[in-house]
A and B are shown apart, each in its own frame.
Chain A
């Protein structure tokens, strides 16, 4: 109906930055031109107002991706480490990864949005038959960054996706994962933790679409949010009529560490098959005061006791990471943010 849309400076900056782009980036440009950046009025963005968060962004930015050299022809057993850095201004980058049949790969993505950035990062991934991908995403954004990471992951029969995400937030940090899950021996385990200090926002939005029978999906996301922080969890499992005997479980749990902590969660199941086991759970709580007292009675200072409780709470989804060094890196990135929360 609306013939013309007045673009904000951030929208114009993104459109300009993507002039002449192809593929996914061209689509991003087109949708931005047509609809602008998403706002609260978009159902999928109702808790993450991207247009508002990007208000101060102007001009074209740079997005640098290091570690790309092995992405095009990965070998079994490879560990690929990408660092994606968005400088001030609007920018977008995308890449494609295919995990060859039977191969096992580890992909570590570190996302860094600098102050004043509107960074967009997109991965298209296909995990071939019997292959396995361990995908780790760590954010390390400036408090004044806006960054949207997204991945479309398609699994073949018998493929395994183990994804673990640690988000420490930004002015707005959003990570979307869309998985097409064929069942037939394929399995998905998507975990994550977020820890948010005042002024930081993290949004974990996920969709797992089960298209064939016998699929297994597990998702455990845990968060801790201080006063003035904002956590968002949107999870959706779709189970097609053909996807009988799907076993899919989604759990989101989070700690509100102050009166002005904000957490919004929407776990959804959309099931068209009649012989499935699907469940979702969502629980918000506060730190266990009884446990805090117990720890202080043994001599631990209050701040230390709080830190230990939060850390152990968030560790659960990270304990599924098999590589010990990697698991420690993830925990260390959480630990580094604990001080700002207590």
Chain B
């Protein structure tokens, strides 16, 4: 479903220099599977999430990334979203003045129009969002407020998953979704993610800690260091990393 081959990516640093971050990363996530990418700070995990979703400033300099048979590098961020690629942001962005509910309805209908589907009507949308909000313990009052403005860290993360439940993407990238969550919020968010597990949907869970993987059990765990995948294995690999740390992989990558 998601196929990344020998991907190389560079970003422009503040002093205007091109800095290679991904240095030949290969990864394949079939439909129905949940893969975790674990790695130390600075290994390129967030870069991977941004290059897959098409953020400006993340330039592909080699290799390929394909999703559902389409070459992602050719597509604008909104086209990738309409294909079904969803990024749950590590730091969800505040959009002052735009009510969450309006934003989400616009987003859903924009995706549907791009895919040649009919727009959902206002009553249909309200029914949908009420149902999903309840599932994530999000009040309708919160949804009337501007996107992420004045929300706590936990509320922002819950809202990221709520948006995924409404947009029903084919593939989710969760970038450090556990950061800033207390144990109760972690459970709510994980339950939301698990509800999205489906035979026709893939997921890439990017995380520094194993904690999240206690709740969202991955099929495969990849260890990332210095812009590459240096080891892949089953869920036990996550526990091994938690016990032993990343030190030995940092050595291997160098």
Contact = CB atoms under 8 A, between A and B. Distances in A.
> Do chains A and B interact in one complex?
yes
Nearest to B77: A296
Contacts of B108: 299
Nearest to A309: B95
A272 interface: no
A188 to B, nearest CB: 24
Given A289-B56, A293-B77, A294-B89, A300 B97 contact: no
Contacts of B114: 299
Contact of A293 (B55, B103, B104, B107): B55
A301 B77 CA distance: 9
Contact of B97 (A299, A302, A316): A316
A301 B93 CA distance: 17
A4 interface: no
A205 to B, nearest CB: 27
B76 A296 contact: yes
Nearest to B115: A299
Interface string A304-324: 100011011101100000000
Contacts of B89: 294, 297
B95 A302 contact: no
B142 interface: no
A316 to B, nearest CB: 7
Interface string B72-84: 0000111011100
A290 B76 CA distance: 15
Contacts of B80: 297
Contact of B167 (A289, A298, A308): A298
B161 interface: no
B98 interface: yes
Contacts of A288: 93
Nearest to B57: A289
Interface in B88-120: 89, 92-98, 103-104, 106-108, 110-111, 114
Given A296-B81, A299-B78, A300-B78, A312 B97 contact: yes
A261 to B, nearest CB: 20
Interface string B34-78: 000000000000000000011110000000000000000000111
B177 interface: no
Interface residues of B, number: 31
A130 B167 CA distance: 53
Nearest to B163: A298
B78 A294 contact: no
A246 B39 CA distance: 58
B78 A302 contact: yes
B9 interface: no
A97 B44 CA distance: 66
A308 B103 CA distance: 9
A297 B111 contact: no
Contacts of B98: 308-309, 312
Contact of A298 (B54, B81, B94): B81
Contacts of B55: 293
Given A299-B78, A304-B110, A294 B53 contact: no
Given A293-B55, A293-B56, A304-B106, A299 B95 contact: no
A312 B96 contact: yes
A141 to B, nearest CB: 26
B87 interface: yes
Contacts of A290: 93
A18 B65 CA distance: 72
B93 A294 contact: yes
A207 interface: no
Contact of A308 (B77, B82, B106): B106
B87 A291 contact: no
A297 B106 contact: no
B104 to A, nearest CB: 8
A289 B94 CA distance: 12
Contacts of A300: 78, 106-107, 110
B190 to A, nearest CB: 22
Given A293-B55, A312-B98, A299 B107 contact: yes
A290 B95 CA distance: 10
A273 interface: no
A242 interface: no
B97 A295 contact: no
B126 to A, nearest CB: 18
Contacts of B107: 295, 298-300
The 4 A-B residue pairs with the shortest CB-CB distance, nearest first, are A312-B97, A299-B111, A298-B107, A299-B81
Given A293-B55, A313-B96, 18 more contacts: A291-B94, A293-B77, A294-B93, A296-B76, A297-B53, A297-B78, A297-B87, A297-B89, A298-B163, A298-B167, A299-B110, A300-B110, A302-B78, A308-B98, A308-B106, A309-B98, A312-B97, A312-B146
